[in-house]
Amino acid sequence: MRALVTGAAGQLGTDVVTNLRNSGHDVFACARNELDITDLVQCQQVISQYQPDVVIHCAAYTAVDAAETDIDGAYRANAVGTRNIAVAAESTGSKLIYISTDYVFDGTSMEPYQEYDNTNPQSIYGKSKRAGELLVQSLSSRYFIVRTSWVYGIYGNNFVKTMLRLGQEMPSLKVVHDQKGSPTYTVDLANYLLELMSTEKYGIYHASNSGACTWYEFTQAIFEEARQLGINIIAQPEPCSTDEFPRPAHRPANSVMEHLAIRTNGFQDLRPWREGLRDFLQQWNVTESK
């Protein structure tokens, strides 16, 4: 297949491009300097010229706290930019995969969120990503909306890399223990997107590594697995509440998402989050030791 990837230099986009090429697909990797998603004319020109079978839209404004004051910037990228990609993809008959987020939910549910539960985003980031979802649904006839959570990978900055650095520098760390979610390794998510794009099973999907934990439990696992690899982790994590670390943007207390659509559409679920973490750490350790 011919695939065009936006946000191709980002954390997820880099792994998506790598996996597509390794699988023999023809890929046009569009970083920001190749494609400005906020420019409708450019989106139409680039996508029309390439004629992709599928557009995987990874580009997004993801600075959750900064979005609270940069409201126009968040909506310009996540709503207007997504509209532009949807319009351009629809005009060429391309399938569209839009990467969305657990932040479209308010996090107050006692149960994992299913794909068709009512959304109620509480942050500007979540609201702007939900706006993108609505535009995809209204403008595209062949779309997959894939919500994911707690993403980390080899490329870019993320929670796991931060904990690995702090774990080697600090004797103790306070980590939030009242927010629950599912960590997602970019390689596992990218593999799922490759499987999804070859189908006609359009709709909304929740895709994260299986299982759930709190940020504190995630940190414990990061340190345990890192020590198994001989990484010199000196820190001891200590649980704390969200109230002890006030942030500009609201964080959902429950970000766990049910994978109902994956199961009912006959897909293999993503593997447990700790297995993904283990593979990430092995790759990270090799990269760091070079």
pLDDT in tens, 91-101: 999 999 999 99
How much of the chain, in percent, has pLDDT values that exceed 90?
95
- What confidence tens digit (pLDDT) does each residue in 43-55 have? 999 999 999 999 9
For tokens 């790598």, the residue is 18
Pairing of strands 151-152, 184-185: parallel
**Can you give the pLDDT at residue 246?**
87
Cβ partners under 8 Å of residue 19, min gap 6: 187, 190, 191, 194
Domain 2-158+182-212+256-271 has CATH 3.10.110.10: no
**Can you give the pLDDT at residue 290?**
67
- What confidence tens digit (pLDDT) does each residue in 232-264 have? 999 999 999 999 888 899 999 999 999 999 999
- What confidence tens digit (pLDDT) does each residue in 8-30 have? 999 999 999 999 999 999 999 99
pLDDT > 90? residue 42: yes
The pair phi, psi for residue 156, each rounded to 5°, is: 85, 180
How far apart are the C-alpha atoms of 46 and 24, rounded to whole Å? 22
pLDDT > 70? residue 266: yes
What are the residue ranges spanned by the domains of the chain?
2-158+182-212+256-271
Q: Return mean pLDDT, the chain.
A: 96
Q: Which of 75, 125, 185, 216 is catalytic?
A: 125
pLDDT confidence of 135, banded at 50, 70, 90?
Answer: very high
| Planar angle of CA 140, 73, 62, nearest 5 degrees | 75
- Judge contact between 79 and 179, C-beta under 8 A: no
HSE-CB of 185 using CA atoms within 13 angstroms: 24
Whether 125 is a known active-site residue: answer yes
